[in-house]
Structure 1
Amino acid sequence: MKIKLTSIYVDDQEKALGFYTDVLGFTKKADFTNGPFRWLTVVSPDDPDGTELQLALNDNPAAKTYQQAIFKQGQPALMLFTDDVKADHERIKANGGTFAMAPTAVTGATIAQLNDTCGNLVQLSQLAHW
């Protein structure tokens, strides 16, 4: 058993697609429309057949309340792992990303957090090598 897909709610799918591809560097994997519904996913360019991230339109009132509450608390909705958080921080800033937290050493990792401009905080994590 393995995880093939996970979802994140976004308030604007087109804006989210721009952020996750142009700013973070992911690749669009799927983009299908059926009436008002749009199935939109991105993947890591390093693993194009790997886990997909669905950019799901947040038109569910319960999900929107949850999304807004965790954002307000400063809790990331998505955690991404990297081998070089400082280099990714600089690359993402150069691509227009806005960080709520610069790379910071914490127990067992260095983390950074940025706003995806679509209602979520995204955390970048580089695990410490023991």
Structure 2
Amino acid sequence: MRIYITSVFVDDQQKALDFYTGVLGFTTKHDVDLGAARWLTVVSPEDPAGAELLLEPDGHPAVKPYKDALVGDGIPAASFQVADVYGEYERLRGLGVRFTQQPMEAGPVTTAVFDDTCGNLIQLVTPA
């Protein structure tokens, strides 16, 4: 068993696609028009056959309170591994990304947390 697809709920699929591809560097895997929404997934260019991230519309009534609670408590909706949190922090800040947590060492990992502009906090992690 392996992870196939996981989701982040986004308030605007096109804005999310632009951010996740243009800023974070993911590549589009699927972009299927479903009428009111799209089946829209991105993958890491380092592992194009790996797990997909579904940029899922946040229209369900349960999603807004869920997202608001996570953001309010500073809890990331997803976590992405990077080779160097400090370097990625500087690169993304240079692109205007707003961080809610600067890089910090937390036991066996170094983490940082940023706002994805679509209603989520995302954590970057580098294992020790």
| TM-score under structure 2 length normalisation | 0.96
Q: Are the counterparts in 2 of residues 40 and 54 from structure 1 also a CA contact under 8 Å?
A: yes
Work out whether 1:85 is the aligned partner of 2:117.
no
Name the counterpart of 1:19.
Answer: 19
Which sections of structure 1, spanning at least 5 residues, go unmatched?
none
For the residues of structure 2 that align with 1:96 and 1:18, how far apart are their CA atoms?
14
The structure 1 segments of at least 4 consecutive aligned residues displaced by more than 6 Å after TM superposition are none
Work out whether 1:104 is the aligned partner of 2:69.
no
Work out whether 1:50 is the aligned partner of 2:50.
yes
Name the counterpart of 1:30.
Answer: 30
Which sections of structure 2, spanning at least 5 residues, go unmatched?
none
Name the counterpart of 2:41.
Answer: 41
Work out whether 1:121 is the aligned partner of 2:121.
yes
RMSD value over aligned CA atoms?
Answer: 0.9
Q: Which moved further from structure 2: 82-91 or 46-55?
A: 82-91
Deviations 1:16-36 (A, max 9, x none): 111111111111111011221
Q: Are the counterparts in 2 of residues 23 and 96 from structure 1 also a CA contact under 8 Å?
A: no
For the residues of structure 1 that align with 2:80 and 2:5, how far apart are their CA atoms?
14
Percent identity between matched residues is 48
| Letter paired with 1:115 | D
Name the counterpart of 1:67.
Answer: 67
Work out whether 1:5 is the aligned partner of 2:5.
yes
Deviations 1:67-116 (A, max 9, x none): 11111110000101112111111111222211111111111111000000
